[in-house]
Structure 1
């Protein structure tokens, strides 16, 4: 049976085995070596060897019982982080949904609400973090997320007039933005104008032009 994996607070992969969590210790081309994640706190010497995500050898015994509730908490927090990255739900809704079906034992081990909200905010902040600004055009590698619009289309390429340039500078909020803020603002500007076009097609009157 394939291993079931979860992720630690630092994003490191752990796997679940009979109510215990294991963290990676070392690896070769053929095997990965794992140790109980309580190897420091409880000086647990239990270890596992895996090949292609399947257990091939067990070494030593745990000096503590498995804790299904603790594993359940890790799974729930992992799911909360996924929801934070993939949805626009407010933190309270994500937390409320996460507690549905949670066992009483796991509920007692869950972090407090303020800590969970902070976890959700941090997860979203990391997900939205832009790459470092390149030092030159040679260093500029544009990730896929910055190459498409909010509708997953390729950017429209065009030139415009100085008036639009001034308005766009105000939208960005800086005369010399980072390239990532510039691209993100382009996407926002295109989405805004697409919305205006849809309104005009539906019969809305465009604003009077300034003279």
Structure 2
């Protein structure tokens, strides 16, 4: 038995080329139903122990196992994991993973738009809450760096109700030093 995460964060079980989702459990067993219950009217059930180490019983499916679908589910899971580790664009993450897959697997992976939308959703879940006051606006960890982990927050000064925050890279500062003219803009009033 092997497990992968579903898009909603639950577990999907892979057994003999079939995908199962958890239906229910009791004090001694977990009951899994075929993930194609609706698509193929498949009523197959798998019963495992609570540790999912032993398959107690499996009923017959109304369809054949689909290794391409299992590979597609694993590829989607890989894209979701990469989305949280990498700062690559959603399009790049999807392209990279699809390029590693065979054609029959790519066909089963849903649309690129859907995969990109899911990446954006996963990333939004990781973002800090929207600040309601200046005191709530805190820059920590990755929010102080560029994508390639170079310092980006140069200054964050607080005085009473005023705040000055300056973002720049060393390369950007070098460009400013070499420039003949500077043009500036700023946010002088915010709704925080």
TM-score by length of 1: 0.61
Partner Cα separation in structure 1 for residue 104 and residue 92 of structure 2: 22
Partner Cα separation in structure 2 for residue 41 and residue 6 of structure 1: 20
Give yes or no for contact 2:48–2:57 (8 Å, CA) kept in 1: no
Q: Which runs of 4+ in 1 moved over 6 A?
A: none
The yes-or-no answer on 1:167 pairing with 2:163 is yes
CA deviations over 1:111-167 (Å, ceiling 9, x no partner): 222222212111111222539x9xxxxxxxxxxxxx99418xxxxxxxx8736x401
Aligned to 2:111: 112
Greater percentage in strand: 2
Partner Cα separation in structure 1 for residue 124 and residue 158 of structure 2: 35
Secondary structure of the 1:49 match is strand
Give yes or no for contact 1:6–1:15 (8 Å, CA) kept in 2: yes
Greater percentage in helix: 1
Aligned to 1:78: 77
CA deviations over 1:154-200 (Å, ceiling 9, x no partner): xxxxxx8736x4015xx5xxxxxxxxxxxxxxxxx8xx69x89xx9x
Partner Cα separation in structure 2 for residue 167 and residue 53 of structure 1: 54
CA deviations over 1:10-52 (Å, ceiling 9, x no partner): 2221111122110111112332111111123322121112121
Aligned to 1:127: 126
Aligned to 2:32: 34
Give yes or no for contact 1:49–1:57 (8 Å, CA) kept in 2: yes
Aligned to 2:145: none
Partner Cα separation in structure 1 for residue 159 and residue 107 of structure 2: 61
The yes-or-no answer on 1:50 pairing with 2:33 is no
Secondary structure of the 1:100 match is helix
Structure 2 unpaired stretches of 5+: 133-137, 143-156, 174-192
TM-score by length of 2: 0.66
Secondary structure of the 2:100 match is coil
Give yes or no for contact 1:48–1:55 (8 Å, CA) kept in 2: no
- Measured on the aligned residues, the alpha-carbon RMSD in Å equals 3.2
Partner Cα separation in structure 2 for residue 161 and residue 19 of structure 1: 59
User: Aligned pair in 2 of structure 1 residues 148, 55: CA closer, same or farther (>3 Å)?
Assistant: farther
Aligned to 2:66: 67
Aligned to 1:25: 23
